[in-house]
Structure 1
């Protein structure tokens, strides 16, 4: 990976749908040459995939929260992780070190939806919730 690849990655981080022609102008290469580089970065596992960023406000989300979960028993960490991660309100679910076992970032329609989620995950452990005020 050279400085051109690094510049391409930097631009794709900002906009994963950027046209190869636009990327090519920035790194002084043709669109097909950029396409080859991107394919090689994908093949080498440097680019693992592309994601979607949503405007949660426009989707009716009014509550955003970090929820740290202290698991009841260490043997249930993997189970809790596998059950919580696919829930539609969960943006991220990370295993972490320290007293808590999981850190969850969730987006909820309202407080009632957050409460329902907390009740659902409390079977695995004790949640500690921090509401996001501003991002």
Structure 2
């Protein structure tokens, strides 16, 4: 990957729907050269997917919570991983070093839905020993790609 590839990625991060023609003007390359570079970035899994950023509040998803989770025994880790990933409320799940085993970023409509998630889904997973939930009041910065 060189500086031209980095410039192409910057354009795509700002607008994943940018055409090769649009990008070629910004990086001073021909359209076929840009298309070829994008294809190679996709094949190398540098570009994993194209997506859209949705306004969560306009979709009725107004409550963002960070949930720290501890698992009781290492034998239950794989079961936790398999159980937590399918939940649509879970936007992110990170295995952590430190006081907690996992950190979840959870998006729900309201406190009632958060309570249901915690009580009926998260705590029903075998091995979940404890959790600590923090409510996000506002988001000052959120980047999807660096």
Superposed pair shares fold, TM > 0.5? yes
Instruction: Say which SS state the counterpart of residue 122 (structure 1) adopts.
Output: helix
Give the Cα–Cα distance (whole angstroms) in 2 for the partners of residues 51 and 127 of structure 1.
31
Q: Is the Cα–Cα contact under 8 Å of residues 81 and 102 in structure 1 kept in the other structure?
A: no
Q: Is the Cα–Cα contact under 8 Å of residues 81 and 95 in structure 1 kept in the other structure?
A: no
Where in structure 2 are there 5+ consecutive unaligned residues? Answer: 140-146
Task: Report what 2:123 is aligned to.
Answer: 122
Instruction: Say which SS state the counterpart of residue 104 (structure 1) adopts.
Output: strand
Following TM superposition, by how much is the alpha carbon of 1:3 offset from its aligned partner in structure 2, in angstroms?
A: 0.8
Instruction: Say which SS state the counterpart of residue 54 (structure 2) adopts.
Output: coil
Following TM superposition, by how much is the alpha carbon of 1:10 offset from its aligned partner in structure 2, in angstroms?
A: 1.4
Where in structure 1 are there 5+ consecutive unaligned residues? Answer: none
* TM-score normalised by the chain length of structure 1: 0.93
Give the Cα–Cα distance (whole angstroms) in 1 for the partners of residues 99 and 51 of structure 2.
31
Matches within 5 A, 1:12-51: 12-51=12-51
Give the Cα–Cα distance (whole angstroms) in 1 for the partners of residues 81 and 51 of structure 2.
21
Moved over 2 A (4+): none
Give the Cα–Cα distance (whole angstroms) in 2 for the partners of residues 43 and 29 of structure 1.
20
| Per-residue CA distance 1:71-120 (angstroms, 9 max, x = gap) | 12222122112211210111111111112111100110110110111112
Give the Cα–Cα distance (whole angstroms) in 1 for the partners of residues 62 and 85 of structure 2.
21
* TM-score normalised by the chain length of structure 2: 0.86
Task: Report what 2:143 is aligned to.
Answer: none
Matches within 5 A, 1:36-115: 36-115=36-115
Following TM superposition, by how much is the alpha carbon of 1:25 offset from its aligned partner in structure 2, in angstroms?
A: 0.5
